[in-house]
Amino acid sequence: MLLGKTNAGFLYVFDSPTRLLVVDDDPILREIAVGHLDHPGGEIVTAGDGEEALAILRRDARFDIVLCDLEMPKMNGFGLLAEMRRDPRMQNLPVVVITSRDDMFAIDRAYEVGATSFVAKPVNWRLLGYQLRYVLRGARMEAITREARGRAEEADRLKESLLALLQHETRTPLNAIIGYSELLQASLDPDADPRDYLDGVITAARGLNDTLQRVFAFAQMSAGTVPVVPERLHAADLVEDEVHRRRRAAEAGGVVLQADADRALVVTADPHLLAKALGELVGNALAHVPRGGRIRLTAHAEGDDVVLGVADDGPGLDPETLARCTQAFLQAENVLVRRAGGLGLGLPTARRIAELNGGRLLLESAPGRGLAARIVLPAARRDAPGLSREAAE
């Protein structure tokens, strides 16, 4: 970061919007800090002690840097730092501690509990500005490094999981194709009927093709190469179409499908992708709901958003297992011993489709309480193609 400069010649510490939290029990110091550090587009939030600062951070941890005194009532700077570093959202938030204490014990303890840098009172605000820019630059470089490392680790995990799953999921259809083809070859005897073997070959080939196509489609969505063509859609149509499409499979499994959709709700989304997302969620539910269970598809409004929901009466998942299921190519059970097949792409695919359409996927589950999935989308824009205004209303 470089010094910003206005037309009047005033220098700003930051020349791009920066969100800073200043924590000090001295109101005069807080006021001086705002005067020195305020800049166009930025935000300076102040707190009088550690408890107030922690409450602010827990409500919204999206700060770029924290400037914190060590000696304060209620909760001092050491306590604030310790609490921040326990919260995953604040573990990497840079904190510059500022205090009148000059003993090495205080400095050492501040760094031990998670301080990023240190400055002593009385404050040289010009030097502090340079120090804040230096800390911010380092924090952003570390964030880039963490992101790159995370992408590399995710790529390794995806590669390993994909290889294991493809080995497992393709073995059965390939063995069927080979086996039935051998039987077909042996059935060339005039008295044999090859049609049963051909049915087996076709079924296995279709299953293998479906597996590979789902992998390729998810790869395209992850790479951002899938075209998204938004239209104005009645949310109820999507829900009712999916219920109709899945009714026979649900009846075969002894599962009741229910639909409850507000006909007035309209969303702006790609119809084919959104239908696929709903299909993935319903397919996931069908794979886990026991005979006699229910799957409920809903469409309702929440504020300015439209929510498409799929809730089931399945066994439910604990938070750790649910987190695994939202990662591509991972399932709740071990790939080699799990009861239900699949690539582990249902929830990740639905999440990616929701994101491509400007929405998000929210999941709630607990052991014995089933799984509730919600695709939250913004309500339809009036200028979007598709339904006319009269039809939307």
149's torsion region: left (phi>0), alpha (psi -120 to 50) or beta? alpha
CATH number of the domain encompassing residue 358: 3.30.565.10
CA dihedral 81, 86, 90, 93 (to 10 degrees): 50
Identify whether residues 252 and 179 lie together within a single domain. no
Q: Is the omega angle on the peptide bond into residue 122 within 30 degrees of 0, that is, cis?
A: yes
Q: Which amino acid is at 165?
A: L
> Are the beta carbons of 307 and 260 closer than 8 angstroms?
no
Secondary structure of the chain: what % helix, strand, coil (to 5)? 50, 20, 35
Cα 262 to the center of its chain, rounded Å:
27
**Global pTM?**
0.51
Q: Domain containing 168: what range?
A: 154-223
Residue 140 falls inside a structural domain: no
The reported pLDDT for the residue numbered 98 is 86
192-220 pLDDT, tens per residue?
667 777 777 777 777 777 777 777 777 77
Residue 264 falls inside a structural domain: yes
Identify whether residues 106 and 79 lie together within a single domain. yes
Chosen domain end from 223, 248, 264:
223
Residue 32 falls inside a structural domain: yes
What does DSSP assign to residue 81? Answer: H
Residue 85 falls inside a structural domain: yes
Identify whether residues 14 and 58 lie together within a single domain. yes
241-264 pLDDT, tens per residue?
999 999 999 999 999 999 999 989
SS (H, E, C) 142-195: HHHHHHHHHHHHHHHHHHHHHHHHHHHHHHHHHHHHHHHHHHHHHCCCCCCCCH
Pull the structure tokens for residue 25: 């029990």
Average pLDDT over residues 158-172: 66
Residue 245 falls inside a structural domain: yes
Rounded CA separation 67/295 (Å): 51
Low-confidence winner among 24-33, 111-120, 145-154, 345-354 (lowest mean pLDDT): 145-154
CATH number of the domain encompassing residue 70: 3.40.50.2300
37-75 pLDDT, tens per residue?
888 888 999 999 999 999 999 999 889 999 999 989 889
Residue 304 falls inside a structural domain: yes
Strand, coil or helix: what is 120?
strand
Identify whether residues 388 and 240 lie together within a single domain. yes
Average pLDDT over residues 91-114: 83
Identify whether residues 241 and 386 lie together within a single domain. yes
Chosen domain end from 123, 144, 179:
123
**pLDDT more than 90, % of the chain:** 38
Identify whether residues 255 and 302 lie together within a single domain. yes
The reported pLDDT for the residue numbered 321 is 83
Identify whether residues 257 and 206 lie together within a single domain. no
CATH number of the domain encompassing residue 180: 1.10.287.130
Q: How many structural domains comprise the chain?
A: 3
Burial class, 387, CB count within 10 angstroms (exposed 0-12 / middle 13-18 / buried 19+): middle
Residue 149 falls inside a structural domain: no
Pull the structure tokens for residue 256: 């009741």
- Reply yes or no on whether the pLDDT at 189 is more than 70: no
Rounded CA separation 73/218 (Å): 53
